[in-house]
Amino acid sequence: MDLRRTMKARRALSAVAITTGLLLTVAGCGGGDDNKSDKGASSSTPASQSNGDNKDKGSESATPEQALAEVKGGDLSLKVTSAARDQGGFVTVKGTVTNGGGKSWVAADWMGDERELAKNGGSIAGASLIDQAGKKKYLVLRDTEGRCLCTRFTGGVQPGETTDWFAQFPAPPEGTTKVDFQVGSMPPASIELTEGE
Tell me the DSSP string of 90-128.
EEEEEEEEEE-SSS-B--GGGS-SSGGGGGG-SBSTT-E
Averaged confidence pLDDT in the chain: 75
Structural domain count of the chain: 1
**DSSP conformation class of 67:** P
Over range 131-150, report the average pLDDT. 89
pLDDT value of residue 44: 34
pLDDT value of residue 187: 92
pTM: 0.64
Secondary structure of residue 22 in the 3-state scheme: helix
pLDDT value of residue 8: 56
Our measurement of the distance from residue 152's CA atom to the centroid of its chain's CA atoms, rounded to an integer in Å, reads 9
pLDDT value of residue 21: 55
Listed residue (110, 99, 114) closest to 167, CA to CA: 110
- The vertex-54 CA angle with 142 and 34, nearest 5°, equals 95
- Is residue 79 within 8 A of residue 56, CB to CB? The reply is no
Integer Cα distance of 27 and 21 in angstroms: 10
What contacts 118, CB < 8 A, 6 or more positions away? 111
pLDDT value of residue 54: 44
pLDDT digits (tens, 9 = 90+) for 85-111: 988 899 999 999 999 988 998 888 888
pLDDT digits (tens, 9 = 90+) for 20-67: 554 445 445 444 444 444 433 333 333 333 333 444 444 444 445 688
pLDDT value of residue 109: 80
- The vertex-163 CA angle with 82 and 150, nearest 5°, equals 60
Secondary structure of residue 143 in the 3-state scheme: coil
- Is residue 141 within 8 A of residue 154, CB to CB? The reply is no
Integer Cα distance of 176 and 51 in angstroms: 37
Structural domain for 88, as ranges: 2-195
What are the phi and psi torsion angles at 103 (to 5°)? -135, 165
Lowest-pLDDT range of 1-15, 70-84, 111-125, 182-196: 1-15
Lowest-pLDDT range of 52-56, 66-70, 135-139, 193-197: 52-56
Listed residue (175, 181, 167, 31) closest to 92, CA to CA: 167
